[in-house]
């Protein structure tokens, strides 16, 4: 009995201490991030956790439609999201769905390129709600070796290669794809047709739909962005309309695999769709303090250089450029020349009725009817 009593006396303080320690462990701050697939260097996330003691819960999506669907339900639970400036970020700003950034808590804000930030100020006056994370264009990913073998004289300088039905038919056997995003595909198709990329005219939308339906029988897939990277890298498809960085990632993977798959990126010669992905904090973010800390961490030149070197998308911190891996820094597909940027267009934000019309159009295209 005495030994049992002594054991209980020794055990009780240990149990009390354990109970006291549980709330301390559970009080560790958590940052909930919702970002694009394959869109950060994992070592950067690990470094942030080690330096700050903030644990990162990291979820991914592969289309703007998925992101907006998650946020429209409310109470998403995310502290930091990465919407594209047009239209998702612009809509979230107008809807009051984002928290204004406290720039006093983001001293590395000074590292951002004012010229690029000015381009998103049209939808975010004063740049109150977002900082540019990465940016790029929409164009064609081409398996150069396969297309040259099938068609040595193929016009590989623009969207004719894919959007002209006779060309699509000629290349169909090597695999064609269009990424599953009305938001990012329709402006390029409209521009290719000589229409305004923001057009809401019924005749223009019919023309865009007819152009897409004309190549629909020749498409192997209409995949999400993440799946499309894999399909290009393995050589499953030879032409795809997608994001510039996806193509550059696929090309790097193909080189690493060493199977002779040669992939290149072509921005439309008539002008490419230019987009910016923004770091933003939802209005109902459970931990905005951690989100501010993460934004400030990311905007350091050496951190943005590591991200660009890893994912092969350009960033908006000019001081990072000399620190980027040479093969990425010197690639014109990653950093387009000024002439190409001057021809690029940034789509505007459509009204809800126009968005619904485009969604219906896209659903018919996906269904092939």
Is the pLDDT at 257 greater than 50, yes or no?
A: yes
pLDDT at 365: 97
Contact by Cβ (8 Å): 276, 135? yes
Residues 313, 163: contact at Cβ < 8 Å? no
Query: 29-135+275-336 has which CATH code?
Result: 3.40.190.10
Domain with CATH 3.40.190.10 in the chain: 29-135+275-336, 136-274+348-367
The tens digit of pLDDT for each residue in 323-356 reads: 999 999 999 888 888 888 888 898 888 888 998 9
CATH class for the domain made up of 136-274+348-367:
alpha beta
Report pLDDT digits (tens) over 102-158: 999 999 999 999 999 998 998 999 999 999 999 999 999 999 999 999 999 999 889
Across 295-312, average pLDDT: 97
Residue 245, pLDDT above cutoff 90 = no
Alpha carbons 344 and 275: distance in angstroms, whole number: 9
The pTM for the full model equals: 0.82
Average pLDDT in the 68-95 region?
87
Q: What is the pLDDT of residue 5?
A: 37
Q: What is the pLDDT of residue 26?
A: 52
Residue 237 burial (CB count, 10 A): 25
On whether the CB atoms of residues 282 and 99 are closer than 8 A, the answer is yes
How far, in Å, CA of 300 to CA of 107, rounded? 10
pLDDT at 354 (0 to 100): 92
Given this model, what pLDDT does residue 18 score? 45
Question: What are 265-276's pLDDT values in tens digits?
Answer: 998 887 899 999
| 2 pLDDT more than 90 | no
pLDDT above 50 for 163: yes
What pLDDT is recorded for position 38?
87
Q: What is the mean pLDDT of residues 53-82?
A: 88
Task: Give the burial class of 69: count Cβ atoms within 10 A of its Cβ; 0-12 exposed, 13-18 middle, 19 or more buried.
Answer: exposed
Read off the tokens for 137. Answer: 């264009």
pLDDT band per the 50, 70, 90 thresholds, residue 15? very low
Q: Peptide bond preceding 87: is omega within 30 degrees of 0, i.e. cis?
A: yes
d(Cα 135, Cα 245) in Å, to the nearest integer?
A: 9
Distance (Å, whole) CA 163 – CA 72: 33
Burial of 244 (0-12, 13-18, 19+ CB in 10 A): buried
What confidence score (pLDDT) does residue 4 get?
A: 41
Least confident range from 49-58, 64-73, 115-124, 345-354: namely 64-73
- The Cα 204–Cα 214 span in angstroms is 15
Mean pLDDT value across residues 220-245: 92
Is 50 exceeded by the pLDDT of residue 10?
no
Confidence (pLDDT) at 1? 35
Q: Is residue 72 scored above 60 in pLDDT?
A: yes
Phi first, then psi: give them for residue 53, nearest 5 degrees.
75, 10
């Amino acid at each position: 009995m005495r030994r049992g009593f002594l054991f209980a006396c020794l055990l009780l303080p240990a149990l009390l201490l354990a109970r006291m320690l549980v709330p301390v462990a559970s009080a560790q701050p958590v940052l909930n991030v919702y970002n694009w697939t394959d869109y950060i260097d994992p070592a950067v996330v690990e470094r942030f956790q080690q330096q700050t003691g903030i644990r990162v819960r990291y979820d991914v999506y592969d289309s703007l439609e998925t992101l907006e669907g998650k946020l429209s339900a409310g109470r998403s639970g995310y502290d930091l999201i990465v919407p594209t400036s047009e239209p998702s970020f612009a809509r979230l700003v107008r809807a009051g769905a984002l928290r204004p950034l406290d720039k006093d808590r983001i001293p590395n804000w000074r590292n951002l390129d004012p010229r690029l930030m000015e381009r998103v100020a049209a939808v975010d006056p004063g740049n109150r709600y977002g900082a540019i994370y990465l940016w790029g264009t929409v164009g064609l990913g081409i398996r150069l070796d396969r297309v040259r073998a099938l068609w040595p004289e193929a016009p590989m300088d623009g969207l004719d290669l894919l959007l002209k039905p006779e060309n699509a038919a000629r290349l169909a056997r090597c695999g064609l794809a269009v990424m599953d995003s009305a938001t990012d595909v329709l402006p390029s198709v409209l521009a290719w047709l000589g229409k305004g990329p923001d057009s809401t005219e019924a005749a223009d939308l019919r023309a865009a739909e007819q152009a897409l339906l004309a190549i629909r029988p020749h498409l192997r897939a209409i995949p999400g962005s993440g799946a499309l990277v894999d399909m290009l890298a393995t050589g499953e498809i030879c032409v795809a309309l997608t994001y510039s960085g996806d193509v550059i990632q696929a090309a790097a993977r193909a080189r690493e695999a060493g199977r002779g798959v040669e992939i290149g990126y072509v921005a439309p010669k008539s002008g490419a769709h230019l987009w910016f992905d923004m770091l933003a904090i939802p209005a109902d973010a459970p931990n905005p303090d951690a989100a501010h800390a993460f934004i400030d961490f990311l905007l350091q030149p050496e951190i943005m250089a590591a991200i660009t070197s890893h994912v092969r998308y350009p960033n908006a911190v000019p001081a990072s450029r000399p620190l980027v891996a040479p093969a990425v820094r010197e690639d014109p597909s990653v950093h387009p020349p000024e002439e190409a940027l001057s021809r690029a267009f940034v789509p505007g934000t459509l009204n809800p009725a126009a968005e619904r019309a485009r969604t219906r159009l896209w659903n018919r295209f996906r269904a092939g009817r």
